[in-house]
Amino acid sequence: MKIGVALRLGDDAGELFADARALESAGVDALWALDNADDDHPLLLAAVAAVTWRVRLVCVEAPEEVSLRTLERLSRGRFVIADERGDAFTLATAEGERERWMRADFPKDRAAWKAVRAEREAEGVAGLVLQNDPRLLDLLRNPDTEDDRSDIKLAFG
């Protein structure tokens, strides 16, 4: 199951860049510009392209032709335009295939995370798009780790 994260520009651009790099190193497959009318999505993705190397950069709004060519060059071919239908998206892969992605709410715990991934995979969904959240890095790095706090038990004897 592929994982995408919706990014938005907050008050601190440095935080956006740090998040993008951390998410990429944690194994995220795509970074998305979604849902924020205040952000210039192509410009946001161009900035993220400068600090990332592997992840796909996804926008649901087709930019102007000039911006599209520039994004393609800055992202080194990683820029993708998605078709949106409700909570579902369709992406074209480099091989010309179509992938179905869906929005997902942030899971309440690891069991819910495991369940939603299994359910969507059974439905033929290629990837999930979540909002950026500080807890996401832990889920990505340790997706199937049970919440075992035996270290606390050892500390108390």
Output the pTM of the full model: 0.86
Percent of the chain with pLDDT over 70: 88
Q: For the chain, which residues make up each domain, given as ranges?
A: 2-156
Right CATH for 2-156 from 1.10.286, 1.20.1070, 3.20.20, 3.30.1450: 3.20.20
Percent of the chain with pLDDT over 90: 54
What number of CA atoms fall less than 13 Å from residue 118's CA on the CB side? 8
Q: From edge to edge, which strands make up the β-sheet containing 127-131?
A: 79-81, 56-59, 30-33, 2-7, 127-131, 98-103, 88-92, 83-85
Rounded to 10°, the helix 41-51/65-74 angle is 10
pLDDT given at position 8? 85
For residue 156, pLDDT beyond 60: no
pLDDT digits (tens, 9 = 90+) for 119-143: 999 999 999 999 999 889 988 888 7
